[in-house]
């Protein structure tokens, strides 16, 4: 049961919580592949975009630490492709990765995100917690968050507790005073609860709760969260 009266800060997952992720990644990879066709054609002659993705999956399996550093995983795979094709690795990797990461951060926020974050930020410190490599500064919303932590900074990403623990330490708050909002039942809801935080399930795409455990408070938009918190503030 969520105790909104105890909440002093709110943390948010990013991908599929503040914007839809899959179209962003697909567009970014298509942009990168088109750039490689023009600047490093020997790579695209060897690999389709899907085959390059398969290489990254295999690398992540072979080097598990890269599963929590998606930027480095992509750079490592690009180095491998460049080496195979006889290109100078570092310059190509640097330029290619910049093409990808720029496109990866061209996101379209869900319509509720900006107004609600602005409103909530007037009463609560806001935190961003992500396993991905979205960059809030590039997106243009970094000023809305007091704390931002990605998996690249910590030993393990969600569902490991480290990211949640670090957020509470930076906020100087007890875990029970922090509410986490995210779309993934395991990495966000269960993981946050196991770390002692309160949690809300962001279910924008009308998924079915996947476990036999009781479903937590579930919202489809951040407007619903804002309403819940406003009600508690009025009663308080």
Cα–Cα distance between 156 and 80 in angstroms, integer?
24
**Is residue 181 helix, strand or coil?**
strand
Domains of the chain in start order, with CATH, are 4-19+108-235 (3.40.50.1000), 22-104 (1.20.120.1600)
Asked whether the beta carbons of 73 and 51 are under 8 A apart, the reply is no
pLDDT in tens, 5-48: 899 999 999 999 999 999 999 999 999 999 999 999 999 999 99
CA-to-CA separations, 144 to 81, 115, 120, 137, 203, in angstroms, rounded: 38, 11, 9, 10, 22
- 70-115 residue pLDDT tens: 999 999 999 999 999 999 888 999 999 999 999 999 999 999 999 9
- How far does Cα 150 stand from its chain's mean position? 7
DSSP calls for 25-37: HHHHHHHHHHHHH
Does 159 sit behind a cis peptide bond, omega within 30 degrees of 0 on the bond before it? yes
What pTM, to 2 d.p., does this model score? 0.93
């Amino acid at each position: 049961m969520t105790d909104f009266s105890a909440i002093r800060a709110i943390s948010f997952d990013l991908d599929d919580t503040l914007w839809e992720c899959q179209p962003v990644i697909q567009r970014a990879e298509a942009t990168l592949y088109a750039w490689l066709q023009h600047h490093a054609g020997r790579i695209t002659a060897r690999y389709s975009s899907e085959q390059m993705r398969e290489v990254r999956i295999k690398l992540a399996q072979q080097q598990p630490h890269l599963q929590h550093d998606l930027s480095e995983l992509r750079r490592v795979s690009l180095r491998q492709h460049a080496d195979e094709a006889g290109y100078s690795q570092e310059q190509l990797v640097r330029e290619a990765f910049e093409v990808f990461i720029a496109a990866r951060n061209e996101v379209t926020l869900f319509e509720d995100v900006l107004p609600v974050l602005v409103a909530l930020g007037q009463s609560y410190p806001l935190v961003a917690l992500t396993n991905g490599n979205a960059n809030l500064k590039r997106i243009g919303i970094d000023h809305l968050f007091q704390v931002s932590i990605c998996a690249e900074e910590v030993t393990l990403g969600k569902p490991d507790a480290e990211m949640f623990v670090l957020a509470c330490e930076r906020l100087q708050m007890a875990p029970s005073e922090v509410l986490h909002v995210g779309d993934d039942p395991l990495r966000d809801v269960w993981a946050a609860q196991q770390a002692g935080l309160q949690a809300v399930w962001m279910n924008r795409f009308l998924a079915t709760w996947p476990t036999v455990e009781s479903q937590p408070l579930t919202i489809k938009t951040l407007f619903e969260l804002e309403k819940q918190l406003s009600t508690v503030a009025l009663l308080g």
